[in-house]
Amino acid sequence: MKNLVHALMAATLALGVGSALAQEWPARPIKIMVGSAPGGGTDAMARAVADRLGPLLKQPVVVENRPGVSNTLAADATAKSTDGHTVVMGVVTAHAIAPHLLKLNYDNNRDLVPVAFVGAVPNVLVVSNSVPADSVQALVQLARKEPGKLNYATSGAGSTQHIAAEMFKDATGIDITHVPYKGSGPALVDLIGGQVQMSFDTLPSVIGQIKNSKIRALAVTTAKRNPQLPNVPTLAEAGVPGIEMSAWYGIYMPASTPKAVQDKVHDAVNQVLAMPETRTRLEAVGAEITPMTQVQFAQFHAAEFKRFGEIIKKNNIRLD
């Protein structure tokens, strides 16, 4: 009985401390780490949230870009942060793909905790205007006529673009060559210039160039069409079923963060996502905003981690 009383007292004290900490937090500016360069999809998501989050939490919210190593440098820095005010705009590449391909300096599933899901955007099969193919099937036929001659660009090895392209190769039996870049920006420059012929980039990175007719969209890699590209079919509609790929984003915090602070961040981010101006800004780049509880986000994270592990193993995907 004495041990039970002590346990209850300790739990009550911890609850009180956590509540007090949440009331005091944030005590300084908040930093959102981003694992890609400015201008990419992850950066766009982070800035859309940061711009409205600061006034809600009554502290400046700044975005810090730390690109490289499949978006994991930002996650690594967040996992090891001790200031209590650093979070990361997590992306599927860092949290569900890279752990299966890289030896990381942190434990993705132990050192970070999913806090607030932000949304997801489709990958889009786009081709250079120099490619004489106006449909997915025409592109497949072209690739079969010239094995190994078509190059596909990605923002880096281990990205969703890389995984989607390898799945596409497996499904169609074509031989296309991977050309990894350090980010979507330089990859897009070469795609427009015709140095590479195709890409499975994320919609926020390419939608402007699609609408300006600098490149052509042949298909989206989601189960349904995207409202921003209503005339672009899904891959399944285009005759290549079984490939679904989207880049999803969410706020992760160090696992040591008190639950009361996690709750405060979760609630604040969801308030931001409910604002009409934020929804308009994100939907304009093709994002689908799907509110989740923190428990649902954790379950989603676990399911995606497992799914990509199976995809990578099945398709024998490597970084070399």
Q: What is the pLDDT of residues 285-301, one digit of tens each?
A: 888 998 999 999 999 99
Residue 20: is its pLDDT beyond 70? Answer: no
Residue count of the chain: 320
The alpha carbon of 134 is separated from its chain's Cα centroid by a whole number of angstroms, namely 28
How far CA 260 is from CA of 67, 77, 265, 278, 299, in Å, comes to 30, 22, 9, 25, 20
What pLDDT does residue 238 have?
97
Residues facing residue 32 across a β-bridge: 63, 87
Residue 163: is its pLDDT beyond 80? Answer: yes
Is there a contact between 114 and 298 (Cβ–Cβ < 8 Å)? yes
Is the pLDDT higher at 318 or at 275?
Answer: 275
Residues facing residue 247 across a β-bridge: 121
- Going from the N-terminus, what domains does the chain have, and what CATH number goes with each? 28-119+248-314 (3.40.190.150), 122-220 (3.40.190.10)
Q: What is the pTM of this model?
A: 0.85
Tell me the Cα Rg of the chain.
21
The H-assigned helical ranges of the chain are 2-24, 41-57, 72-79, 92, 136-145, 160-172, 184-193, 203-211, 259-274, 276-283, 294-314
Mean pLDDT over the full length of the chain: 91
Of 102, 42, 50, residue with least CA distance to 74: 42
The percentage of residues in the chain with a pLDDT greater than 90, rounded to a whole number, is 79
Residue 2: is its pLDDT beyond 80? Answer: no
**Helix%, strand%, coil% for the chain, nearest 5:** 45, 20, 35
The pLDDT-based confidence of 19 (bands split at 50, 70, 90) is: low
What pLDDT does residue 5 have?
47
The pLDDT-based confidence of 1 (bands split at 50, 70, 90) is: low
Looking at residues 177-197, what average pLDDT do you find? 92
Q: What pLDDT, in 10s, does the model give residues 92-125? A: 999 999 999 999 999 999 999 999 999 999 999 9
Alpha-carbon torsion, ordered 294, 295, 297, 299, to 10 deg: 170
Looking at residues 178-189, what average pLDDT do you find? 88
What pLDDT does residue 175 have?
96
What pLDDT does residue 36 have?
85
Q: What pLDDT, in 10s, does the model give residues 237-264? A: 999 999 999 999 999 999 999 999 999 9
Residue 9: is its pLDDT beyond 90? Answer: no
> How many other C-beta atoms can be found within 10 angstroms of the C-beta atom of residue 212?
9
